[in-house]
Amino acid sequence: MTGAAPQTGGPAEVQSAPPHHTTVEALVRAQLSKALGGKRGMLEGAVPTLGFTLSWITFHDLRLSLVVSGTLAATALLIRLLQRSNIQFVVNAIIGIAIAAIFALRSGRAEDAFLPGLIYNAGYAVLLGGSALLRWPLVGFMIGSVTGEPTEWHKDKNLVSLCTKLTWLLAIPCVLRVLVQYPLYEAGQAGWLGIAKISMGWPLQLATLAAMAWLLSRDSTPIVVKSPGLEVASEPTR
């Protein structure tokens, strides 16, 4: 059945919205899925860390653990290349492994392989949380980058509220990772750090996505497509 869903505020106006996205919620869902790489992208990011952790726990050999991690990432890249599929997320993982290896090899401490991840999560927590507190949530700019109006979304108070909630949901996992993993880093517990990173990686991300999916399931903010001399509100299909 097709019908107009009740609006929670003024519609978000865009110059050119993708025709298959009739609501802001649907647009955000699509963009988040694209940004995270889906289940395969998250798995490809987790497997090298798992290999490093298991190798370190078993042999306590830093160089061997880094080689195992790098080999797993390179294998994932080779499979992607053979399948001629998108290599973006594997390349991201390889870059992360390379940075982690530099940190660990310079100090000779296995736990330093996890330091870049801690810095990354701390930085993201500050960036996401700060933008939400200032009422200019980063998720809003994600919408603006798609619609072609970088700040137009900020004129809709309800859209700002939605984007603020989504931004906080993205920030919470980063905060939790730092709170749990930093004490382990200070204690030099590389094995437990690896376990914490894996358990707080894609499982926590999936929990966050489930919360975001629930928040976005209402499809209540229609997108208004601007055309010369005419504004057309795309009605959500329910």
Per-residue model confidence (pLDDT) at position 222: 58
Question: In angstroms, rounded to a whole number, what is the distance separating the alpha carbons of residues 86 and 36?
Answer: 13
**Residues 190, 56 contacting (CB under 8 angstroms):** yes
- The type of residue at 171 is A
Q: Which of these, 172, 201, 178, lies nearest to 45 by C-alpha position?
A: 201
pLDDT score at 214: 84
Backbone conformation region of residue 14, classed left if phi is above 0, alpha if psi is from -120 to 50, else beta: beta
Written as tens digits, the pLDDT of the chain (238 aa) is 444 444 444 444 444 444 456 666 666 666 666 666 667 887 888 899 999 999 999 999 999 999 999 999 999 999 999 999 989 889 988 999 999 999 999 999 999 999 999 999 999 999 999 999 999 999 899 878 766 778 988 988 888 998 999 999 999 999 999 999 999 999 999 999 999 998 998 788 778 878 887 887 765 555 554 444 434 444 444 4
Closest CA to 22 of 7, 34, 33, 36: 7
In this prediction, residue 116 carries a pLDDT of 96
Angle made by CA atoms 49, 183, 93, in degrees to the nearest 5: 20
Give the pLDDT confidence score for residue 32 in this predicted structure: 62
Distance CA 160, CA 72 (A): 41
Q: Is residue 167 left, alpha or beta, with left meaning phi > 0 and alpha meaning psi from -120 to 50?
A: alpha
The pLDDT of residue 21: 60
Per-residue confidence (pLDDT) for residue 159, from 0 to 100:
84
Can you read off the two tokens belonging to residue 213? 């999916």
